[in-house]
Amino acid sequence: MKMLINVPETVVADALRGMAAAHPELTVDVENRVVVRRDAPVAGKVGLVSGGGSGHEPLHAGFVGPGMLSAACPGEAFTSPVPDQMVRAAAAVDSGAGVLFIVKNYTGDVLNFDMAVELAEDEGLQVARVLVDDDVAVSDSTFTAGRRGTGATLFVEKIAGALADEGAPLERVEAVARRVNESSRSFGVALGAVTTPAKGSPTFDLPPGELELGIGIHGEPGRERRPMMTSGEIADIAVHAVLEDLRPDGPVLVLVNGMGATPLLELYGFGAEVHRVLSERGVAVARTLVGNYVTSLDMAGCSVTLCQVDEEMLRLWDAPVQTSALRWGR
């Protein structure tokens, strides 16, 4: 496999050096693997910290900035960051108003963030934790006890980040973050396998002419494999799977997310099919975001995330945000 890297061992460090060069509004600690908004800590503001294995960019470091995360902790590719990173990030963004950890539901992430909570509290920090577990495809799969955390992470980080920027207390930011997660569901589809730098070859076998329904963002198995289908047929299956679990009775946010190797030309066409299915089911769309936001290295495919929103959640979604990967209203 051809990759634009030096050696697999330095992929994350090299990427962080590049992020530091491209984004002077961030403080990037390459050695300790922590990315912090340069103005942190902000007086009176709850700090938001997230993190996870690298390979899902722009998640999470690409969402550090005003209106979203205060800091992010990148691990090695598809590998959880360690508690020391999380505690360092929390200390860097704590203004005395407390810190909220946003954690995707993968066993390594959960264990390490739990340890980080204990260590941070030992250092006198007030810390809360919210778990993201929005994937409807499977439960208790590879790397996961319960549902996997996927696209809803973006909704949680954006909406909770906006509320934190308004100066809301930790308990309120935590409650809204939980509400966003509880109101969100996702379903992913793989058209091609993912290749990690360390392995240098596809991590699973997906024969030509087949796709995997319900794939995880690390290439974990989904619900089933089928012969390749049209964009409209895939949208029918993915959106119906989400709606059968979410059963919204109000407007939704829509994320049409690329897995890393699917071009926008295809994603926008797929997004049109997602809107068609939602219209046929009588579901109103409040806002739509299309692009590569929660990726899986070079995997071809997509995911659909829906979040039922109330007026407050929609207002916070629309609030200004300025990160390297998501920005509007400023």
Q: Which residues are catalytic?
A: 56, 218
Q: Read off the tokens for 118.
A: 């204990």
Beta bridge partners of 306: 185, 254
Q: DSSP class of residue 135?
A: B
Residue 80 · residue 112 · CB < 8 Å: yes
Residue 181 · residue 206 · CB < 8 Å: no
Residue with tokens 């005003």: 66
Which amino acid belongs to residue 312? Answer: E
Gap between the Cα atoms of 131 and 104, Å rounded: 6
Residue with tokens 């590879």: 142
Q: Read off the tokens for 186.
A: 């996702």
Between the CA of residue 156 and those of 38, 162, 279, what are the distances in Å?
22, 10, 25
Q: DSSP class of residue 82?
A: P
For 18, the 3-state DSSP assignment is helix
Gap between the Cα atoms of 102 and 24, Å rounded: 24
Angle subtended at Cα 294 by Cα 140 and Cα 288, rounded to the nearest 5 degrees: 110
To the nearest 5 percent, what fractions of the chain are helix, strand and coil? Answer: 35, 25, 40
Residue 71 · residue 40 · CB < 8 Å: yes
Gap between the Cα atoms of 57 and 62, Å rounded: 7
Whether the ω angle into residue 320 lies within 30 degrees of 0, i.e. cis, is: no
Gap between the Cα atoms of 278 and 275, Å rounded: 5
